[in-house]
Amino acid sequence: MSPKSTNRIANILLLLALSVSALWPAAPARAQSALAIVGDLAPDFSLTGIDGHKVSLSEFAGKFVVLEWWGSECYTIKTHYKAGTMQGAQKRARADGAVWLSIDSTHPGHSGFLNARQSAEMLKKWNGAQNAMLQDPDGRVGRLYGASVTPHTVVIDPKGRLIYAGAIDDDRSMRDVGKARNLALAAIGEARAGKPVSRPVTKAYG
């Protein structure tokens, strides 16, 4: 076969390849991301609680689920728990049939790491009202949900879709946390009413 014929065949194959790629474009970047994305199905996970029981997100199918990232040394966490606003939100969510899971993604080598017993003692002192406190020592679930600060907050609807991610409330200044609007509860309220969540993504603070 002559060089000219070989080049012609190569060009034809290249055109065919380009045509095929146009019909089946590459998957969008969001599909390749390891992070959970608002509007998509929330990635399932299993973690062990401070009571020793393993908890999986999938076991709460059909319910609203709030994920609250927690850290023992976090000023924002301490402010909300000492004011009782976090426990109040937990109680309101649970009274409406939602599930509230707190997640501690602190690495065991960090100064703020608490073992199961220490976490239980702190939550008892603070009257924590979550369904469970889960430990994520390798940070796997924290990274999956993009939790870089505490209390990063996530809401998952009964169909398993992520409908809210971001700040716990709308007052980053924390001047009066008792008057702030809890954005997780707001998202649940709007979704229950059949409305789109008005603020599905906010910037978490902590």
pLDDT bin (cut points 50, 70, 90) of residue 1 is low
Res. 28 pLDDT band, cuts 50 70 90:
very low
In one-letter notation, the amino acid at residue 5 is S
What mean pLDDT comes out for the span 123-144?
96
Residue range 162-190: average pLDDT? 96
Residue with the bigger pLDDT between 109 and 4: it is 109
Distances (CA, A) of 79 to 113, 138, 152, 176: 18, 26, 15, 10
pLDDT at 34: 44
Decide the pairing of beta strands 46-49 and 162-166: unpaired
- Segment 13-35 shows an average pLDDT of 33
Spell 190-206 as b/e; 16+ CB within 10 A means b.
bbeeeeebeebebebbb
Structure tokens at 152: 């990063």
Kindly report each contact of residues 3-6 with a partner whose C-beta sits within 8 Å and lies 24 or more positions away, as own/partner: none
Q: Please give the CATH superfamily to which domain 29-192 belongs.
A: Glutaredoxin (3.40.30.10)
Q: What percent of the chain has pLDDT over 90?
A: 81
Question: What pLDDT does 33 receive?
Answer: 37
Average pLDDT over residues 84-111: 96
Report domain extents, the chain: 29-192
- Residue in the block written with tokens 């059949």: 194
pLDDT score, position 61? 97
Lowest average pLDDT, out of 8-17, 25-34, 66-75, 120-129, goes to 25-34
**What pLDDT, on the 0 to 100 scale, is given for residue 35?**
77
Tokens 């430990």, located at residue: 135
Answer positive or negative: Cα dihedral of 116, 151, 98, 41.
negative
